[in-house]
């Protein structure tokens, strides 16, 4: 998102508004990092216009919408009529906005600045285009929608109250979504604009220095989703949000001696509280899991939810307790080619929008991830070990065994010796955490060809086999299965150090290509091998220290690709940028190998970066050196709120123990 938008987020709902609180209906702007504005629920835009005029003109912004991280769920701004120095504003508009689950709420308070009665005409132009988020991306792809019909109708309050608002409806076959806009007091009129939008108009009579107020509610009714109660106004929504955040973080103790890290943890906990989205378990039970990020990924992404839950596990085990059954419920049971699904595979992405529903994008349930499946097993084992609660491991034993089966069979561990993925033409070319095109490359920038065996995924597989072997022996009472998995893990470790280690560089390759050749870029994924314990002690210590050299460590964090290589670009998504969650894994890995000074250095860099943004870590930062740029340079297309980044400070706290 860019500076021209402000985000309000709660659960499956977010709103992006302009500095004056308006929504103009734009999409993403290519090359700027600017995302779409509007009210979004379950992958669709339920408000595409929300534009205020007073006495026929757009008012001037006196105080813009709050930009601080504390304004996650609510915002305020102050507006006045345009005028000259010699003509003080006749009135002031105080605009308060908030989101709740499935709703956008606003209170407009108009205050007269005159000593005589004043008449003010307030007008709000509203529309709902129900555009799928995939249509609003900067690539501007178009999708056929035969038979789609949009309609608008006034809402009658009954009992002689007249029109209280307007309802927008979108139908396409069995698909039906609605948005209702209501107001108190009801508008004096609802006008057609000639472009599909409707204009709600009020004539307000203000006493001398008097005030009048209009309360507005836009409630989204997405296809296939149950209706939820809407708070009475922004103030009530804020009270609910405060209660949610306080309840979520209750009992978490933060380090008093490291204020920057404590502040980052506090901000991260608040962001995680609002980023949770609804999901269902194997028996249909309601669950709440980490949504990946805003604006493009406010949904369940397997890898993101698993890493977020792992980072938060020592402090908030409830996240893992919900994430595990939610992913078991969406685990693939059969091969589906377009979705890259195979039996036992854990889902990569779940979407609820129109295009996914009609199969026009493959992401309704999309399995294009090589690492979500081993991470599912890692989290199941880690949760059981951390909490002592064997219930999920017993309940999900079948899902865990199916996940192991996928790794050994379809995943490639038995036939290729490693987890392997192939580019998906309709979806993701790269299916590890660095999933952008060209992210898996040699030092000269040449992309890997053929089936890819990414280094980090092998570490996850090793850890998954070890942890599942422990579950088999201690929880499932199946020693034979446990011994089989333990041996598979040991064999994988031996193979990896033989095939991936680059002796001249003293560093592991980023991947092996389809011919088994080393993809030799020096990349941060090596730190994930420390986290998973795949490297022996000597190699692990060598890698950990190498990651702190200036070409890797920017001062804010470890770069995804070391500078000085032709592949490096500081503003590339995965080839030179700094990712907080990547660094959290690296810090945890360093601590595992006894490199505590190095882990603290990484933690200090990220905590300092968070301190420049009121405690919040974005999805990704540019790779520029801290010595040259005393404030982190933002990556232009970064998610503002991202669950893995929100949980990263908790992982850093685990790595350094608050010291």
Per-residue pLDDT reduced to its tens digit, 587-597? 999 999 999 99
Encode pLDDT of 184-201 as tens digits: 999 999 999 988 899 999
pLDDT classification of 10: cutoffs 50, 70, 90: very high
DSSP 136: G
Predicted local distance difference test score (pLDDT) of residue 4: 61
The dihedrals phi and psi of 51, each to the nearest 5 degrees, come to -125, 125
The lowest-confidence range among 207-216, 251-260, 448-457 is: 251-260
The model's confidence at residue 31, banded by pLDDT at 50, 70 and 90, is very low
Q: Return the pLDDT at 1.
A: 43
- Percent of the chain beyond pLDDT 90? 87
* Contact (Cβ atoms closer than 8 angstroms) between residue 109 and residue 211: yes
Q: Where are the alpha helices (DSSP H) in 448-558?
A: 455-474, 479-499, 525-532, 537-546
- Dump the DSSP string for 181-241: EEEESPPSEEEE-SSS-EEEEEEEEEPTT-EEEEEEEEEEE-TT-------SSHHHHHHHH
Tell me: pLDDT of 301 over 60: yes
Closest by CA to 377, choosing from 501, 239, 472, 247, is 472
H helix count then E strand count, the chain: 15, 27
**What spatial distance separates the first Cα and last Cα of the chain, rounded to whole Å?**
34
pLDDT (0 to 100) of residue 72:
74
Average pLDDT for 268-278: 96
Residue of 484, 450, 346 lying closest to 406 (CA atoms)? 346
Give the CA radius of gyration of the chain: 26
Q: What is the pLDDT of residues 435-486, one digit of tens each?
A: 999 999 999 999 999 999 999 999 999 999 999 999 999 999 999 999 999 9
* CA triple 119-123-126, angle to 5 deg: 170
385 versus 241: the higher-pLDDT residue is: 385
Average pLDDT in the 489-501 region? 97
**Sequence-ordered list of residues with C-beta below 8 angstroms from that of 227, at least 6 positions apart, any chain:** 102, 219, 221
- Looking at residue 34, its pLDDT comes to 56
pLDDT computed for residue 572 by the predictor: 95
User: 308-334, pLDDT tens digit by residue?
Assistant: 999 999 999 999 999 999 999 999 999
- pLDDT reading at 656 higher than 60: yes
pLDDT bucket at 88, cuts 50 / 70 / 90:
confident
Is the model's pLDDT at 65 over the cut of 90? no
pLDDT in tens, 336-395: 989 999 999 999 999 999 999 999 999 999 999 999 999 999 999 999 999 999 999 999
Looking at residue 161, what is its pLDDT?
A: 66
Please give the Cα distance from 497 to 493 (Å, whole number).
6
Express each pLDDT in 450-461 by its tens digit.
Answer: 999 999 999 999
What value does the mean pLDDT take over residues 248-261?
Answer: 91
* pLDDT, tens digit (0-9, with 9 covering 90-100), for 518-577: 999 999 999 999 999 999 999 999 999 999 999 999 999 999 999 999 999 999 999 999
Q: What is the pLDDT of residues 382-394, one digit of tens each?
A: 999 999 999 999 9
Task: Note the pLDDT of residue 277.
Answer: 96
How many other β-carbons are positioned within 10 Å of the β-carbon of residue 128?
32
Query: Higher confidence at residue 33 or residue 296?
Result: 296
**90 Rama sector, left if φ>0, alpha if ψ -120 to 50, beta otherwise:** alpha
Q: How many CB atoms lie within 10 A of CB 109?
A: 14
Is the separation of the CB atoms in 117 and 206 below 8 Å?
A: yes
Closest-CA residue to 20 (of 70, 76, 69, 68): 76
Provide the pLDDT confidence category of residue 659 given band limits of 50, 70 and 90: low
Most confidently predicted of 87-96, 252-261, 282-291: 282-291
């Amino acid at each position: 998102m860019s500076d021209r938008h402000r985000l309000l987020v709660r659960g499956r709902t977010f709103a992006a508004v302009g500095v004056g609180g308006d929504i103009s209906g734009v999409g993403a702007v290519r090359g700027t990092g600017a995302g779409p504005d509007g009210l979004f629920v379950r992958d669709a835009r339920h408000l595409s216009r929300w534009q205020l005029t007073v006495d026929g003109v757009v008012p001037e912004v006196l105080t813009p919408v709050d930009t601080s991280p504390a304004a996650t769920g609510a915002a305020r701004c102050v507006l006045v009529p345009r005028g000259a120095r010699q003509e003080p504003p006749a009135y002031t508009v105080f605009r308060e906005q908030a989101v709740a689950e499935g709703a956008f709420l606003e209170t407009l308070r108009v205050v007269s600045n005159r000593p005589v009665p004043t008449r003010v005409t307030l007008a709000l132009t509203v529309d709902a285009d129900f555009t799928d988020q995939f249509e609003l991306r900067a690539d501007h792809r178009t999708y056929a929608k035969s038979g789609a019909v949009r309609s608008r109708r006034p809402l009658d309050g009954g009992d002689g109250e007249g029109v209280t608002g307007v309802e927008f409806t979108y139908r396409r076959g069995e698909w039906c979504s609605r948005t209702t806009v209501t107001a108190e007091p009801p508008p004096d009129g609802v006008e057609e604009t000639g472009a599909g939008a409707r204009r709600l108009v009020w004539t307000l009579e203000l006493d001398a220095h008097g005030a009048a107020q209009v309360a507005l509610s836009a409630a989204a009714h997405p296809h296939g989703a149950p209706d939820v109660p809407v708070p009475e106004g922004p103030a009530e929504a804020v009270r609910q949000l405060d209660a949610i955040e306080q309840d979520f973080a209750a009992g978490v103790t933060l380090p008093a001696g490291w204020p920057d890290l404590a502040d980052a943890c506090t901000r991260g906990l608040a962001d995680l509280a609002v980023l949770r989205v609804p999901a269902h378990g194997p028996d249909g039970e309601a669950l709440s899991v980490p949504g990946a990020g805003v604006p493009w990924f406010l949904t369940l992404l397997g890898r993101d939810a698993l890493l977020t839950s792992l980072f938060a596990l020592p402090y908030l085990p409830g996240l893992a307790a919900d994430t595990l059954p939610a992913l078991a419920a969406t685990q693939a049971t059969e091969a589906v080619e377009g979705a890259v699904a195979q039996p036992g595979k854990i889902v990569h992405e779940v979407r609820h929008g129109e295009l996914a529903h009609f199969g026009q994008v493959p992401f309704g349930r999309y399995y294009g991830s090589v690492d979500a499946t081993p991470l599912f097993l890692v989290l199941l084992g880690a949760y059981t070990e951390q909490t002592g609660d064997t219930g999920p491991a017993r309940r999900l034993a079948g899902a865990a065994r199916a996940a192991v089966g996928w790794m050994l069979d379809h995943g490639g561990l038995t036939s290729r010796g490693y987890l392997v993925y192939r580019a998906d033409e309709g979806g993701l070319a790269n299916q590890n955490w660095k999933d952008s095109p060209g992210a898996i490359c040699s030092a000269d920038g040449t992309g890997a060809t053929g089936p890819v065996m990414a280094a980090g995924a092998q570490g996850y597989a090793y850890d998954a086999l070890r942890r599942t072997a422990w579950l088999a022996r201690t929880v499932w009472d199946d020693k034979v299965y446990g011994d089989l998995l333990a041996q598979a893990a040991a064999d994988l470790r031996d193979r990896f150090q033989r095939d991936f280690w680059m002796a001249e560089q003293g560093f592991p390759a980023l991947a092996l290509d389809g011919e088994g050749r080393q993809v030799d870029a020096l990349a941060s994924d090596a730190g994930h091998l420390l986290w998973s314990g795949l490297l022996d002690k000597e190699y692990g210590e060598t890698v950990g220290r190498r990651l702190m050299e200036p070409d890797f460590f920017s001062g804010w964090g470890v770069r995804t690709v070391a500078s000085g290589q032709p592949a490096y670009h500081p503003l590339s998504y995965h080839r030179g940028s700094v990712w907080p969650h990547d660094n959290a894994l690296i810090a945890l890995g360093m601590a595992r190998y006894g490199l505590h000074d190095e882990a603290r250095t990484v933690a200090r860099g990220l905590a300092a970066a968070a301190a420049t943004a009121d405690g919040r870590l974005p999805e990704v930062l540019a790779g520029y050196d801290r010595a040259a740029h005393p404030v982190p340079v933002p990556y232009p297309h970064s998610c503002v709120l991202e669950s893995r980044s929100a949980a990263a400070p908790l992982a850093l706290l685990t790595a350094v123990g608050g010291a």
